[in-house]
């Protein structure tokens, strides 16, 4: 969409125009566009490596903590590798021919925004609040929080967060922390923000899982058990709990929860479509951005690109080797990508 705002707003000399994909429009009774909102941008890069014998280090420029690392299709636990801003280092050396996939994502605010954290103030002191509810996203030291999202509220810098006692302490004196007020995280215009929060926990023979320090935002989650992705066929979310597993779950339970953008939907605009394999078929229709789509086969991430498991276009993906059955469960996933991360 292209909008011309000179008739309505004074931008000085010349005609001001902006081209973008509009998320919302405000149109007056004469059919004129008098306001618009552009949704946040989302950047995504997938890099596939074929390991050499004994290799541990993989060059990858990224923001620490904003990557998902897969080894032979399995999502690794953060304890299985270390990161710098330019490398990912495996704790155990690779065998020659192993496939490593690193997915790097970041969100960017198009304008100043206030992210609702899904918590409200229960009580406060001169430099802390106790909250009720559970946040969707991790709150970190250094974050700027406010107690309203209207006008230009004062921001306060987080010093520490105790998720057990639900106490957030700030670096200085706070004001306006009235009981019942919602809590927001401030994002400056054009600032980068974490694309997801990651929650890892060990479980034993559970038939349902209810988090106690965070809340699951239905539709924003991607769940893995022992590094294998499970999808909508394998679970339900009811009253904040993950349940309906085909069998009791034991092992490492990981929830990747995508951060909301300025429109309160996942910044990635993640979309999932499930299908079953067809014996001997190599081409599967799937409308996607081929630069930010993934395919999981029975929970294992397939590697994309020439010489790997498949290649992709905007209309479909083509397997290098067809499945020899009709029962492999495929989760086809695509993200709204503005460019490389």
For the stretch 83-118, pLDDT in tens is: 999 999 999 999 999 999 999 999 999 999 999 999
Which two tokens mark 109? 């605010």
β-pair partners for 81:
90
> What angle (nearest 5°) sits at the alpha carbon of residue 223, between those of residues 87 and 114?
75
Residue 336 above 70 pLDDT? yes
Residue 258 above 70 pLDDT? yes
24 phi-psi bin (left φ>0, alpha ψ -120 to 50, beta other): beta
> What angle (nearest 5°) sits at the alpha carbon of residue 185, between those of residues 268 and 239?
65
* pLDDT tens figures, 13-68: 444 444 555 556 666 666 665 556 688 999 999 999 999 999 999 999 999 999 99
SS3 235: coil
The predicted structure's pLDDT at residue 38: 80
Q: Which of these, 81, 84, 88, lies nearest to 64 by C-alpha position? A: 84
* pLDDT tens figures, 285-332: 999 999 999 999 999 999 999 999 999 999 999 999 999 999 999 999
CATH architecture of the domain with residue range 113-187: Beta Barrel (2.40)
Q: Which of these, 36, 197, 188, lies nearest to 108 by C-alpha position? A: 188
The predicted structure's pLDDT at residue 13: 42
In the chain, which residues fall in CATH 2.40.10? 113-187
The predicted structure's pLDDT at residue 295: 98
* pLDDT tens figures, 265-293: 998 999 999 999 999 999 999 999 999 99
Q: Which of these, 113, 123, 108, 122, lies nearest to 146 by C-alpha position? A: 113
Which two tokens mark 310? 């498949």
Tell me how far apart the alpha carbons of residues 91 and 98 are, in angstroms, rounded to a whole number: 15
Answer positive or negative: Cα dihedral of 156, 221, 288, 229.
positive
Instruction: Read off the DSSP letter of residue 339.
Output: B
Q: Are 141 and 155 spatial neighbours (Cβ–Cβ below 8 Å)?
A: no
The predicted structure's pLDDT at residue 108: 97
Provide the pLDDT confidence category of residue 6 given band limits of 50, 70 and 90. Answer: very low
Mean pLDDT of the chain: 92
* pLDDT tens figures, 174-206: 999 999 999 999 999 999 999 999 999 999 999
SS3 291: helix
Which two tokens mark 89? 């280092």
Instruction: Read off the DSSP letter of residue 80.
Output: G
| Chain-centroid distance, C-alpha 203 | 23
Name the H helices within 146-301. Answer: none
SS3 268: coil
């Amino acid at each position: 969409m292209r909008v011309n705002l000179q008739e309505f707003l004074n931008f000085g000399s010349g005609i001001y125009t902006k081209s973008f994909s509009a998320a919302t429009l405000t149109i007056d009774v004469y059919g004129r566009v008098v306001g618009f909102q552009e949704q946040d941008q989302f950047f995504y890069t997938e890099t596939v490596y074929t390991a050499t014998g004994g290799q541990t280090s993989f060059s990858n420029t990224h923001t620490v903590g904003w990557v998902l690392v897969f080894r032979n299709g399995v999502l690794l636990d953060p304890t299985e590798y270390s990161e710098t801003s330019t490398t990912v280092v495996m704790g155990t050396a690779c065998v020659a021919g192993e496939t490593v996939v690193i997915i790097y994502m970041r969100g960017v605010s198009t304008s100043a925004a206030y992210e609702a954290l899904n918590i409200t103030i229960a009580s406060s002191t001169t430099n802390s609040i106790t909250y009720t509810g559970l946040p969707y996203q991790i709150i970190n030291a250094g974050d700027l929080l406010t107690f309203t999202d209207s006008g230009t509220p004062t921001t306060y810098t987080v010093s520490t967060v105790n998720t057990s006692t639900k106490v957030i302490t700030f670096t200085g004196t706070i004001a306006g922390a009235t009981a019942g007020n919602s809590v927001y995280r401030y994002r400056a215009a054009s600032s980068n923000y974490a694309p997801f929060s990651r929650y890892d926990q060990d479980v034993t023979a559970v038939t349902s899982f209810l988090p106690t320090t965070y809340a699951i935002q239905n539709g924003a989650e991607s769940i893995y058990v022992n590094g294998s992705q499970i999808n909508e066929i394998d679970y339900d979310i009811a009253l904040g709990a993950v349940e309906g597993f085909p069998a009791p779950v034991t092992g490492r339970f990981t929830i990747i929860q995508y951060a909301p953008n300025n429109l309160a939907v996942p910044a990635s605009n993640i979309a999932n479509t499930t299908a079953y394999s067809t014996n001997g078929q190599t081409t599967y229709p799937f409308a996607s951005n081929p630069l930010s789509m993934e395919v999981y086969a029975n929970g294992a991430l397939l590697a994309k690109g020439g010489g790997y498991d498949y290649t992709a276009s905007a209309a479909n993906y083509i397997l290098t080797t067809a499945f020899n059955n009709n029962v492999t469960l495929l989760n086809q996933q695509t993200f709204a990508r503005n460019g490389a991360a």
